[in-house]
Structure 1
Amino acid sequence: MTTSTLTERYLFAATRNVPAAQRDELSRDLAERIADTIDSRVESGASTPESAERDALVELGNPSVLAASYSDRPLVLIGPRYYLIWRRLLLLLESFVPATAAAAAALGLVLAGGGWEVIGSAVGIGITVAVHVAFWVTLVFALIERYDTGAVDADELLAWTPDQLPQLPEARRPHRRADLIASLVWLAIAAAFLVWQQFGIVWFGGEVAKIPLLDPELWSFWLPYLFVLIVLEAGFAYWIYRSDWNWVNALVNLALNAAFAIPVIWLFVNGMLLSPDFLALIEPHLDADAERVLSVLFVGGIAAVCAWDSIDGIVKAARGGGRGTLDFPGNRSPRRTGA
């Protein structure tokens, strides 16, 4: 029986996280089992030839659970019954709750007039929240596992369907090519802006003020540092195009975002980012409240953009690469389209 795309996606999802030595054998065994199940359903009349493959995969269930049973790799942190539900919920919460708490804390500290210590405090709060989320979610599931009465149907909570299968790596490549081009274009614009702003870009009173936006003193280290980051980001974008998202790449993405956001926010909070001439030009036209609001918007904007990009990489890695994401409102995967 010729293996169709849906079956290939199921085999890919089931084998991608098992040891390489077991991958080929597991793939062969599963392919045979799927083919036998399809033939059996058609012969018994349980499914039509058109729907037999999809029905067979639904009958086999979540490929991660099936792979765990085949590879003698029990899901034991919480217990096989609730492990995948625990993992899905924990990844979902950790993808945005700590970052949201850190951003809210940073915003409050900036509004209260905090200085550079805002960064350290916000990071500390984010880490603390992440630890608490992991602890309490795990504790709740451990209690459910211990005192389970059978009232909760784990399979129903997982609600797995073939629509959730990841695309094959080769099917993702066109999307990754578009992402690569977009990333390189934006990085080129950022590099051009860093050079362009030095020659005066401030439009004031109907004329371009011939003053730089960023402090020229930054050329001694920080602006070259940003150019190095741009080069690293370009190399990383190409690497993602070649290898797709995984946990290592998600951590590298997080590190690159932190390497940009932390110095830029620190320079801004300490009054070292913008040029003195630019500040002297605009400050007479802004009152204290306007300056505070603009400062909060700048810091919050930088933190939000970098946090979102980091979260996006994490959820793509959790979903197995490609453009897929964890399922939460406003973040639907464009690749979940059925058979």
Structure 2
Amino acid sequence: MTLSDQYIGAVLANVPAAQRGDIDAELRDLLGQEAAALVELGESPARAEWNAIDQLGDPDLLAARLTGRSPHLIGPRFFPSYIRRLRLLVTVAVPTVFVGTVLIGAVAMRPYAEVMGRATSSSAAAALVITAVLTIVTVARQRREAASTPPPWSPDVLVGSEPRSWQDFVRLVAALTMAGLIVAALVGQATGGALLSPSGQALPIIDPALWSFWMPYFIALLLVQAARQIAVYARPSQLRLWAWANLPIQAAFCIPAIWLLVTGRLLNPAITTTLGPEADRVVGAAAPALAALILAIVLIDNSGELWRAYRKGNRTTA
């Protein structure tokens, strides 16, 4: 991918789909002509391409000019990044809040209408809060920097960067949603129970004694992993670092989880007491196989992430 490709991609990211084809062709033609003219004046092709891009300036501002957009509350310098962040946060947070609220309500065996009403209102509230907070922060930043002269945009900011693909965004949404679901499930089964005893009592699946340390520990690691996933998407130039950082996080989660599972400390003793010795034997026989399955999934996940990180790194430096 050339520097021109990266620049045009940065411009088109803020252009409506209906206009991208025309603007893409226009920019390629303009950059090609400018670079060819500079080469005729004695510049090297690489330097001519750099200077041609530099003349067009910041891709976000250029996109605003080409599309005729004139945002008022948030100016053209901040509006494109504001929209990108808002789309990302709302797309991730709203489904996570909705599914998590539904899961907690289902585990607590709440009425269907109540669960759906709470999920809808919670999702709408999350979207409104995110929009309001992000808008306030962006406007405050814009006003704070209005008195100072921003550093001039340079094509050097494109070096080493690579446009994010929709697959990267899907992986981020899936990872954050999964983390939210796991946290919601852990909290929901503890507060509302997940199994009913013959007497009608709701029993949590996880041993309640583990909430003194291990459950908060696992939830903290899930939050750390979610932060790492956001960093992977926000800083793709550090993919290899984030991929290697996944190893100690996964190890810190899986090793104690497998140990608790195999030693019989993970599940609530009241379940086997209620269901009888046969359930205890089934759980004991299934624990090693489940531990092996967890270990295999973790190894495959880590290997796949390292492979993607090094493949993208090699492609970027090629």
TM-score, scaled relative to structure 1: 0.46
Q: Which protein, 1 or 2, shows the higher relative CO under an 8 Å CA cutoff with sep ≥ 6?
A: 1
When the two structures are superposed, what TM-score results if normalisation uses the length of structure 2?
0.48
